[in-house]
Amino acid sequence: MFDRVALGIVGTAIVTFLLGWTTLFDRTSPDTAVAGLSLFALFGVAFLLAGAGLIAAGIASNVGLFKTTADQYTGLGTGVAFGVVGFATGGLVTTILFGVGATGSALAGLVVALIVTLGIAVLPEDIGTTLPVGLLALVWGVLLAAGFVDVGWVWDPPSLAATFHAPIVVPLVTIALSLLVAWSGAIVAEGFGSQGRQNGAYLMIGLNAFGMIAVLLLLILFVVRKGLPTLLEGAQFGPGLSISVPFLTKGVMLGQQYNGIFPAIVGTVWLVVGAVVLAIPMGIGAAVFLTEYAEQGRFTAVIETATNALWSTPSIVYGLFGYAFLVPRFGNRNSLLAGMMVLGFMLLPLVVITSREAIKSVPDEYRDASAALGVNQWQTIRSVVLPAAMPGVVTGVILGVGRIAGETAPILLVTSGAPFPARAPSILGSFRFTATPPFVQNEALLQASSALPYQLYAVITAGVGQEEAFGWGTALVLLLVVLGFYAIGIASRIYFRRKLHQ
Amino acid sequence: MSDQTVTRTNDEQQSNSLTDQQPTSHTVDAETDEQLVDSWTDYEFEGEAAITVEDLDVYYGDDHAIDSISMEIPEQSVTALIGPSGCGKSTYLRCLNRMNDRIDSARVDGTVEIDGENIYEGDTDLVELRKKVGMVFQSPNPFPKSIRENVSYGPRKHGDVNVGLLGKLLGGDDSEAERRLVERSLKQAALWDEVSDRLEDNALGLSGGQQQRLCIARCLAVDPDVILMDEPASALDPVATAKIEDLIEQLAEEYTVVVVTHNMQQAARISDQTAVFLTGGQLVEYDDTDKIFENPESDRVEDYVTGKFG
């Protein structure tokens, strides 16, 4: 009986938690009627039942109807947690009911928080973990079930410039309360005590993690739904293997039936490839020197701090450097090469940081074993240390590529030309070999290029030339390109790991 | 500040700790020990000395880790170095192939002669020295490579075996030589029968005992004269330990083996002569293993080998 009630409470809380998320993102409408009740009213009934169940279970345990392992006191940790809830609730209620200003509500909230914290901390555990949650659930349940808060409800506090509408507020409060109810229900399910606290924490953290993943998935789904029609516009599959997706294979030209973003894709891919080619050898080289050769001391500590600071330097600063330093040296115009170098510089600190960590984590026993065989340090680094560090290095590069592929500011400053060009830069076809220095020339590298994030920026800010749907298509392709780079990175990491362990 | 001051401090500490441990009967003996320390290390043996150590001192910063040790190690035999933790026996072992060079704070005084050459003289070629004096470590440390690559690692890096594309281009691919080398080394390390059908598997997939024998094979592949072993069986189970011990005895027919061990029974089983280190980095007694374990001169050594302290 006790267990079943607890399971019922947890189940109810999980359902309201999920419905809260779907309502927040417009997947379920608040007006949906189930068994004659609106969704919000249904929430209300659920919380009434769950709250009543929690209070009943807590009291039943406290008076000894069921044997549980509840501790004597709830403890200050739970008390403080509810103190925070009490602060929010107290502040909100006083504002809504009495219309006091920010200071007044903060004071009221503080008083409530103090009382709640101390009060709950000294309660027996089976009361302290159920009663407050149960009461909150009951209050919220009454508000929703009796229709005090319905779809049309609006809270317009005079002290704030904002208004809060029920379709946003109700799901948010429901999600938060669901987490609390689930936590409390999970504690009840294990009969309080250390087992109960473990179970409660597990469920709460699990639901939180689920929430995060849900947000991520929603974001991706959103972009896909908005971008896919543009991506597939005019696409033909078949007959046979012939596939044509003009959005991916064409530029923007007058008199063309379907315009596309091929030049920008090529630009982004070249930018990333160039940056990686520049950053990896330099970064690994620096990491090897700093970890294997340089004496660990103030010098390496300063370098370490400097690289960490460089990694968190805003990209617009890198862009500015490229604009002021590189662009004048590359024919005074925006160019793909300048973009590659700026993005390479941005990637460099991360490659150094992660390579250092990876090299440091290679066991010293390998170095000892190699040295004891009379093998010199450089050969040891090359044939033992670096192969063992490679998976870690690749992980760093994967993280970095995700950042630089979506970088807009530096490209805007050093690479961008026309946002919607007709043709892609032909890097491979532009190499010219000359008998006089510099022997190799590549005109395409020194020309401006578009890139996916830059194109997206152009659609959003200018709105000239292309409409919104074009931007969504670009966003989707950018997402896919970044995922593609991730896939390459992860595949190479697996390759290096397998080389170590097979 | 002279070395002598340091030595005296150490001696004082030592006799203090001894008085603590044997409050009743051994106080007088301990004092006798101090006076006679040197006289029990003049070990007479037949045959040639592979390694001659004279007045070796090692400091880690201000810490005097090895206190003026002189000893001759006979060739083609097993020499065991025993003693309690922190007595400097591993440090001493690492002096014999200059692995202490890898520790920044370590400073070494004295001479170590191998093949008549002092390895602490300025122009010693570390590569040649370590090819001649191999080392096996406490915990098995094979590289995360295949078994074959582990064994041929040393010869390949020294250019004794050329394989692969570059080997082919630079006159002659030594794949066959490499194969023979790997087989010979693994057979010497008594591992061939267990791994001959999976030489391309990763070495980390082997058991601990197999990994340690692989490390021995890797060391044998560079064709050393001396093999230093730093508690080679301490991380292994009894069965694997027994195999390593058998192997050590076999290796002594061809190589000079110096083994550091915690385990006195092991020293008694495998070694021809035993050197006992006690706290303060001093060599207290060095003699035939039978003599050390049955009738040592020093009472402290007797206490140690009979398990009364340490």
CA atoms within 13 A on the CB side of B185: 28
What is the pLDDT at residue B93? 92
What is the pLDDT at residue A261? 85
Question: Cβ of B153 and A501 within 8 Å?
Answer: no
CATH number where A354 lies: 1.10.3720.10
Chain A (81-140) residues lying within 8 Å, Cβ to Cβ, of chain B:
none
What is the Cα–Cα distance from B175 to B155, expressed in whole angstroms? Answer: 12
Contact residues, chain A, for B95 at CB < 8 Å: none
Residues B37 and B98 in one domain: yes
Query: Which of the listed residues A220, A241, A276 is the one where a domain comes to its end?
Result: A220
Q: Is there a domain that residue B140 lies in? A: no
Smallest Cα distance from A373 to chain B, Å: 6
Q: Is there a domain that residue A106 lies in? A: no
Contact residues, chain A, for B126 at CB < 8 Å: 374
Question: Cβ of B99 and A372 within 8 Å?
Answer: yes
Residues B187 and B79 in one domain: no
Q: Is there a domain that residue B133 lies in? A: no
Q: Is there a domain that residue A232 lies in? A: no
Question: Cβ of B131 and A374 within 8 Å?
Answer: yes
Question: Cβ of B137 and A368 within 8 Å?
Answer: yes
DSSP secondary structure string for all residues of B115-158: TTEETTSTT--HHHHHHHEEEE-SS----SSBHHHHHHHHHHHT
Question: Cβ of A369 and B218 within 8 Å?
Answer: yes
Nearest CA in chain A to B140: A365
Nearest CA in chain B to A388: B144
Instruction: Decide: B256 and B51 in contact? Cβ < 8 Å.
Output: yes
Q: B-side interface with A, Cβ within 8 Å? A: 97, 99, 102, 104, 126-131, 134-135, 137, 139, 141-145, 153-154, 157-158, 201-202, 204-205, 215, 218-219, 222
What is the pLDDT at residue A468? 79
Q: What is the pLDDT of residues B130-181, one digit of tens each?
A: 999 999 999 899 999 999 999 999 988 887 777 666 666 666 667 788 889 9
Question: Cβ of B153 and A388 within 8 Å?
Answer: no
B154 vs A368, A375, A502: nearest CB: A375
Contact residues, chain A, for B137 at CB < 8 Å: 365, 368-369, 372
Q: Give the whole-number percent of chain A exceeding pLDDT 70.
A: 97
Question: Which has the closest alpha carbon to B52: B117, B129, B123?
Answer: B117
Q: Is there a domain that residue A243 lies in? A: no
End-to-end CA distance of chain A: 54
Number of domains in chain A: 2
Question: Which has the closest alpha carbon to A94: A110, A116, A114?
Answer: A110
Helix (H) or strand (E) holding B299: helix B299-305
Query: Residue A233's beta-bridge partner residues?
Result: none
Question: Cβ of B202 and A500 within 8 Å?
Answer: yes
pLDDT of A100 over the 80 cut: no
What is the pLDDT at residue A406? 86
What is the Cα–Cα distance from A359 to A283, expressed in whole angstroms? Answer: 12
Q: Is there a domain that residue A255 lies in? A: no
Question: Cβ of A371 and B153 within 8 Å?
Answer: no
What is the pLDDT at residue A42? 86
Q: Is there a domain that residue A94 lies in? A: no
Question: Cβ of A387 and B202 within 8 Å?
Answer: no
Smallest Cα distance from A363 to chain B, Å: 9
What is the pLDDT at residue A152? 78
What is the pLDDT at residue A434? 78
Question: Cβ of B129 and A369 within 8 Å?
Answer: no
Amino acid identity, position A275: A
Question: Residue range A421-426: average pLDDT?
Answer: 77
Question: Cβ of A374 and B102 within 8 Å?
Answer: no
Nearest CA in chain B to A389: B144
Residues B177 and B281 in one domain: no
Residues A128 and A274 in one domain: no
Q: What is the pLDDT of residues B70-124, one digit of tens each?
A: 889 998 999 999 988 888 888 899 999 888 888 888 888 889 998 888 888 878 8
What is the pLDDT at residue B38? 47
What is the pLDDT at residue B28? 42
A151 close contact with B: CB closer than 8 A: no
Q: Is there a domain that residue B39 lies in? A: yes
Question: Cβ of B202 and A369 within 8 Å?
Answer: no
Contact residues, chain B, for A502 at CB < 8 Å: 201-202
Residues B2 and B94 in one domain: yes
Which tokens go with A68? 């549980």
Residues A333 and A405 in one domain: yes
Angle between helix axes B27-36 and B3-21 (nearest 10 degrees) is: 150
Would you call B169 helix, strand, or coil by DSSP?
Answer: helix
Order the strands of the B256-261 sheet from edge to edge: B133-136, B226-230, B256-261, B78-82, B273-278, B282-288
**Average pLDDT of chain A?**
85
A364 close contact with B: CB closer than 8 A: no
Would you call A502 helix, strand, or coil by DSSP?
Answer: coil
Query: Residue A165's beta-bridge partner residues?
Result: A154
Residues B42 and B94 in one domain: yes
Interface confidence: ipTM more than 0.90: no
Chain A (201-260) residues lying within 8 Å, Cβ to Cβ, of chain B:
none
Question: Cβ of A372 and B137 within 8 Å?
Answer: yes
| Angle, vertex CA A309, rays to CA A304 and CA A310, nearest 5 | 100
Residues B1 and B111 in one domain: yes
Residues B40 and B99 in one domain: yes
Tell me the Cα Rg of chain A.
Answer: 30
Residues B110 and B155 in one domain: no
Residues B101 and B193 in one domain: no
Residues A318 and A216 in one domain: no
Instruction: Decide: A228 and A476 in contact? Cβ < 8 Å.
Output: yes
Q: Is there a domain that residue A451 lies in? A: yes
Question: Cβ of B158 and A374 within 8 Å?
Answer: yes
Residues B107 and B249 in one domain: yes
What is the Cα–Cα distance from A308 to B175, expressed in whole angstroms? Answer: 47
- A36-45, A378-387, B153-162, range with greatest mean pLDDT: A378-387
Which tokens go with B141? 């440390």
Q: Is there a domain that residue A102 lies in? A: no
Smallest Cα distance from B120 to chain A, Å: 16
Q: Is there a domain that residue B122 lies in? A: no
Query: Residue A244's beta-bridge partner residues?
Result: A236
What is the Cα–Cα distance from A278 to A312, expressed in whole angstroms? Answer: 19
Residues A272 and A133 in one domain: no
Q: Give the whole-number percent of chain A exceeding pLDDT 90.
A: 23
Give A388's pLDDT tier (boundaries 50, 70, 90): very high
Lowest mean pLDDT among A313-322, B28-37, B298-307: B28-37
Query: Which of the listed residues B188, B203, B222 is the one where a domain comes to its end?
Result: B222
Q: Give the whole-number percent of chain B exceeding pLDDT 70.
A: 83
Residues B242 and B110 in one domain: yes
Domain containing A361 equals 262-501
Residues A215 and A273 in one domain: no
Contact residues, chain B, for A362 at CB < 8 Å: none
Q: Is there a domain that residue B233 lies in? A: yes
Residues A280 and A199 in one domain: no
What is the pLDDT at residue A463? 60
Give A389's pLDDT tier (boundaries 50, 70, 90): very high
Question: Cβ of B157 and A375 within 8 Å?
Answer: yes
Domain containing B184 equals 145-222
Residues B160 and B209 in one domain: yes
| CA distances from residue A135 to A23, A49, A70, A72, A169 in whole angstroms, order as listed | 24, 11, 20, 21, 19
Q: Is there a domain that residue B264 lies in? A: yes
Q: What is the pLDDT of residues A220-273, one digit of tens each?
A: 888 998 888 888 887 777 777 777 788 888 777 777 777 888 888 989 999 999
Number of domains in chain B: 2
Residues A327 and A181 in one domain: no
Residues A171 and A277 in one domain: no
Smallest Cα distance from B43 to chain A, Å: 29
Question: Residue range B29-46: average pLDDT?
Answer: 58
Q: Residue A319 burial (CB < 10 Å; 0-12/13-18/19+)?
A: buried
What is the Cα–Cα distance from A65 to B122, expressed in whole angstroms? Answer: 86
Query: Which of the listed residues A188, A220, A252 is the one where a domain comes to its end?
Result: A220
CA quadruple B296, B300, B306, B310: dihedral, nearest 10: -140
Query: Which of the listed residues A153, A188, A220 is the one where a domain comes to its end?
Result: A220
What is the pLDDT at residue A89? 83
A383 close contact with B: CB closer than 8 A: yes
Contact residues, chain B, for A293 at CB < 8 Å: none
What is the Cα–Cα distance from B78 to B289, expressed in whole angstroms? Answer: 10
Instruction: Decide: A273 and A285 in contact? Cβ < 8 Å.
Output: no
Sequence-distant (≥ 6) Cβ neighbours of residue A219 within 8 angstroms: none
| Angle, vertex CA A12, rays to CA A8 and CA A17, nearest 5 | 150
What is the Cα–Cα distance from A269 to A336, expressed in whole angstroms? Answer: 11
Question: Cβ of A374 and B126 within 8 Å?
Answer: yes
Which tokens go with B147? 């078994």
Question: Cβ of A371 and B154 within 8 Å?
Answer: no
Smallest Cα distance from B128 to chain A, Å: 7
Amino acid identity, position A384: V
Residues A153 and A287 in one domain: no
pLDDT of A218 over the 80 cut: yes
Residues A366 and A470 in one domain: yes
Contact residues, chain A, for B127 at CB < 8 Å: 374-376
Amino acid identity, position A137: A
Helix (H) or strand (E) holding B291: helix B289-294
What is the pLDDT at residue A189? 86
Question: Cβ of B137 and A369 within 8 Å?
Answer: yes
Q: How many CB atoms lie within 10 A of CB A302?
A: 10
Q: What is the pLDDT of residues A101-151, one digit of tens each?
A: 778 888 888 988 898 888 888 888 888 888 888 988 999 999 888 878 877
B144 vs A368, A372, A501: nearest CB: A501
Q: Is there a domain that residue B68 lies in? A: yes
Q: Residue written as tokens 């920044």?
A: B104
Q: Is there a domain that residue B127 lies in? A: no
Question: Cβ of A371 and B99 within 8 Å?
Answer: yes
Q: What is the pLDDT of residues B1-32, one digit of tens each?
A: 344 444 434 444 444 444 444 444 444 444 44
Tell me the Cα Rg of chain B.
Answer: 21
Instruction: Decide: B105 and B61 in contact? Cβ < 8 Å.
Output: yes
CATH number where B256 lies: 3.40.50.300
Mutant choice from B145, B146, B201 vs A, greatest count of A C-beta within 10 A: B145
Contact residues, chain A, for B219 at CB < 8 Å: 372-373
Q: Is there a domain that residue A338 lies in? A: yes
Q: What is the pLDDT of residues A296-319, one digit of tens each?
A: 889 899 999 999 999 989 999 999
Residues A206 and A267 in one domain: no
Give B186's pLDDT tier (boundaries 50, 70, 90): very high
Residues A367 and A433 in one domain: yes
Q: Residue B278 burial (CB < 10 Å; 0-12/13-18/19+)?
A: buried
What is the pLDDT at residue B13? 43
